[in-house]
Structure 1
Amino acid sequence: MVTYSESGVDIDLEELTVRRLTSRLAGTLKHCDVITGTGHFAALVRMGDVAIAMSTDGVGSKILVAEMMNRYDTVGIDCIAMVVNDILCVGARPAALVDYLAVEHPDPEVADEIGHGLARGADMARIAVIGGETASLPGIVRNFDLAATGIGFVDTDKIITGERITLGDAVIGIESSGIHSNGLSLARKVFFEELELSPHDSLPGSDVTVGDALLKPTRIYVEPVMELIDSGVGVNGLAHITGGGFSNLKRLKKEVGYRLDMLPEPQHIFRVMHDSGVPIEEMYRVFNMGVGFCAIVGKDEADHAVDVLGDRAHVIGEVTDKASSVDITAYTGESIRL
C-alpha cells in the first residue's frame, strides 16, 4: 500500500498548518472590504461595483520531474493554470499575473524555457504577465521554484461563491488533461520508487513515457467556464479540483453535500497508480481522477450547461443534504466518502 503521507506529504498536517497561519492574519481583513473569507479558491476585495479576485499558487514538485527530464517548457503553463483556474471559481475573469522565480543559480537557458511556458499559458488564459521577481537563493532553493499571483475582475452582482447551491442541483465535471500539478509527490514515489521506473521508461500499458505523462500540462479552463458564465445559465458554484481531490467541493457551502455517481473513466495514469498499490480512497482524496473542474447548476439547466461547456463536460452527480460530505462511486465500483 502506498499513501500520500508515505511520500512525505501529510494533508491533515497541511490543513492544520494553514489554519494556524491564517488565524494570525484574520485581523488584517479590517483594512479593506473583503467579500470572501479564507478557505475559498480566490479572495475577493470590493472596489465599488466591481470586485478584484486574487489567487496565488505554484507548480509544486512537478518541477522535480521537469528536472529529471531536463525539460522546462511546460511548467509555466502549470503555473498559469493553477492560478487562473482558482480565480474562475468566484466567477471572475482572470486578467493579469506576476510570477516569482527562485533559483539556486541563474540559468538563462532554463529561464527561456520557463518563460516559453508562461507565455503559452498566458495566451491560453488570455491574460497578461505584467511583471514578477527573480531571486537567486543558493542554500535555500535547489534548482528552482516557480509560483505566481494573479488577479481577475467580476461585477459584484455576478459573484459566484457557492451560497446559492441548493439540494438537487446538478454537478457538472469538465475532464482534466491528466494528473495536473498536484499529488506529484505520491506519483513520483509510485513510479520512481515502487515501480523503479525512469522518467524515460514507458508508462505501463502505454507508449507514452512516464515523464511525458507526468509533465502533461494542467488544463486551463478559462474559455469554457467564462462561456458558461456568459451564457445566461445560472451557475451556483464553481470548484477547481486540485490537491485534496473532490474534497474541494466542500469549500463552497458547508450545509450541503455531493453524490458523484456518474464520473467519467479516469485517465490511464490514475489506474496504473491504483494498480501499483495506492488505495482507491487515497486516489480520490489526492488526485482529480479525470475531472479537473466542476460547475454546479440547477438541475433543469444541466443539459444546456453541458452543451455550452462542450463534449469534455458531463453531469457527474448532484447536491445532497449530507452536509460537508462527498460520496463517490469510484471507477472500480467501490463507494467512497470524503
Structure 2
Amino acid sequence: MTDAYAKAGVDIQRSDDAVGALVGVLRQIRLDQPSRSVVASGHYASVLRIAPNLGLALTTDGVGSKLVVAEQADRLETVGIDCIAMNVNDLVCVGAEPIAMLDYLAVEEPDPTRLARIAQGLREGAEQANIEIPGGELAVIPELIRGHPSPGGFDLCGTAVGTVALDRIVGGEEIRPGDAIIGVPSSGLHSNGYTLARRALLQDGGLTLDDTPDGLGASVADALLEPTTIYVRAALALLQSDIPVTGLAHITGGGVLNLPRLNTSVGWSIEEPLPILPVFETVQRLGGVAEREMWEVFNMGCGFIAIVSDDRADDAASLLAEHHPGARRIGTVTDAEGVVTVRDLRF
C-alpha cells in the first residue's frame, strides 16, 4: 500500500497489525461495573460517561519524528504547538470542547534552557486552543533517548481532556450520501509522515536543512518545522452555530483514508481537493513517491474536514473560512460503502 514509506522504515500494514494485536488484548479488560465508554474504538477520541448527560473526552498523541528535524536544526520553540494540536484537533472531532492537556517529556539530559524553549511552544499551542496545562511529567532516561545530536534527545507527548454533552456527540452515524465535505487548509506536513519526508528531501534529494530548493519557497527546515494548525476555535464555532454537523475529521497519518473512521457505511468523493502545498510536491518529486501513496500518507493541504448537509455547505464553509481562509467544499459523501476517491484515484 505504501511502498516508499515502508522503504523509509514505516510499514503501515505491519503497524496496523500491531495496533490490532494491542487493542485485541485491551478489549479483554474485565471490570466490576459496566463500561463507561460511549464511543466505539477507532474514533478520533474516546468518551467516557461521567454524569447523566456529561462525557469526558480523552486523546493522547505525540510529535513523532518531526522532533528529529527540530533537534538537527536546533529549533525547539514550536514543536510544543504540534503536541497540543495533535491532541486537541482529535478531541473536537467528537464534538468535545478541549479543556486541558498534560505533557510527557522524556529527555536524554535535563537541560533547563532547552526545556524552557520547548515549553514556549506548549504555551503558544495552549493559548491557541484555549486550554490549560495544569501538570505533566519529566523523565530523564538517557538509556532510552538518544538525540540528533546527543545529548539533546527528547520525546514529547500529551494527553488531552475535554467535555461533551452525551446527546451532542458527533459520532458520524448520521452522515448520509449527498452530504457535503468541507475541507480546511493545513499549514504543511503538520506532524505526520516525517520518516518518509525526511528520506525524500534529505537522503534521496540530497538536500540540507538550510537549502531552499526550487518550488519549495522556503528552506527545508522552515518547511518541515511549520507548526501544525490548531482547528479548535473554528470547529467549536461551527458546533455552536445552527448548522447541523454530522462528522468532523482530523486529517493526520493515513491522509484521506482517515474519513472512513467516521462511518464505514458510506463513501467519500473528493472532487475538488484543496491546493496541494509546495512541500508535498517537493517530497513527491525528490522522493519519487507515487501520487497514490502521497494521498495515503499525507494531508496534502487539507488538515481538517467537516461533514454537513448539502444545503448548509456554503454556510459551513464561510464560517470555517473566517478562522482559516481557503476553507471550502471539496467533495460529497456517496453510497459507495467504504470507498474513498480523490479525482480519479480510488482507495
Q: TM-score, normalised by structure 2?
A: 0.94
**Deviation of 1:175 (Å):** 0.4
| Alpha-carbon distance between aligned partners in 2 of 1:287 and 1:279, rounded to the nearest angstrom | 12
Q: Is residue 200–residue 284 contact of structure 2 (8 Å, CA) maintained in 1? A: no
- The 5-angstrom pairing of residues 2-17 of structure 1 reads 3-17=4-18
Give the aligned CA root-mean-square deviation in angstroms: 1.3
Residue from 279, 291, 306 that aligns with 2:290: 279
SS at match of 1:60: coil
2:54 is the counterpart of 1:81: no
**Deviation of 1:203 (Å):** 3.5
Q: Is residue 231–residue 308 contact of structure 1 (8 Å, CA) maintained in 2? A: no
Q: Deviations over 1:239-291 (max 9, x none)?
A: 00000001000101111110001112111111112222110001000000000
**Deviation of 1:336 (Å):** 1.4
| Alpha-carbon distance between aligned partners in 2 of 1:81 and 1:4, rounded to the nearest angstrom | 23
Q: Is residue 65–residue 194 contact of structure 2 (8 Å, CA) maintained in 1? A: yes
Residue 316 of structure 1: aligned partner: 330
Q: Identity over the aligned pairs, expressed in percent?
A: 45
Residue from 32, 54, 59 that aligns with 2:58: 54
2:104 is the counterpart of 1:100: yes
| Alpha-carbon distance between aligned partners in 1 of 2:111 and 2:198, rounded to the nearest angstrom | 25
- The 5-angstrom pairing of residues 102-181 of structure 1 reads 102-142=106-146, 143-181=153-191
**Deviation of 1:2 (Å):** 7.1
Q: Is residue 98–residue 132 contact of structure 1 (8 Å, CA) maintained in 2? A: yes
Residue 337 of structure 1: aligned partner: 346
Q: Is residue 2–residue 190 contact of structure 1 (8 Å, CA) maintained in 2? A: no
Q: Would the alpha carbon gap of residues 326 and 29 (structure 1) be closer, same or farther in structure 2, given more than 3 Å must change?
A: farther
**Unmatched 5+ residue regions in structure 2?**
147-152
Q: List structure 1 runs of 4+ shifted beyond 3 angstroms.
A: 29-32
Q: Would the alpha carbon gap of residues 196 and 43 (structure 1) be closer, same or farther in structure 2, given more than 3 Å must change?
A: same
Tell me the amino acid that sits aligned with residue 337 of structure 1.
R
- The 5-angstrom pairing of residues 35-74 of structure 1 reads 35-48=38-51, 49-74=53-78
| Alpha-carbon distance between aligned partners in 1 of 2:218 and 2:117, rounded to the nearest angstrom | 22
SS at match of 1:130: coil
Residue from 220, 234, 243 that aligns with 1:233: 243
SS at match of 1:185: helix
Which region of structure 1 is more displaced relative to structure 2, 72-81 or 256-265? 256-265
| Alpha-carbon distance between aligned partners in 2 of 1:319 and 1:150, rounded to the nearest angstrom | 30
2:234 is the counterpart of 1:224: yes
**Deviation of 1:207 (Å):** 4.1
Q: Deviations over 1:266-321 (max 9, x none)?
A: 11111112222110001000000000000000111101111111132110101111
Residue 332 of structure 1: aligned partner: none
| Alpha-carbon distance between aligned partners in 2 of 1:320 and 1:67, rounded to the nearest angstrom | 44
Tell me the amino acid that sits aligned with residue 260 of structure 2.
K
2:288 is the counterpart of 1:307: no
SS at match of 2:29: helix
The count of residues paired between Structure 1 and Structure 2 equals 333
Q: Would the alpha carbon gap of residues 34 and 300 (structure 1) be closer, same or farther in structure 2, given more than 3 Å must change?
A: same
Residue from 202, 210, 213 that aligns with 1:203: 213
**Deviation of 1:204 (Å):** 2.7
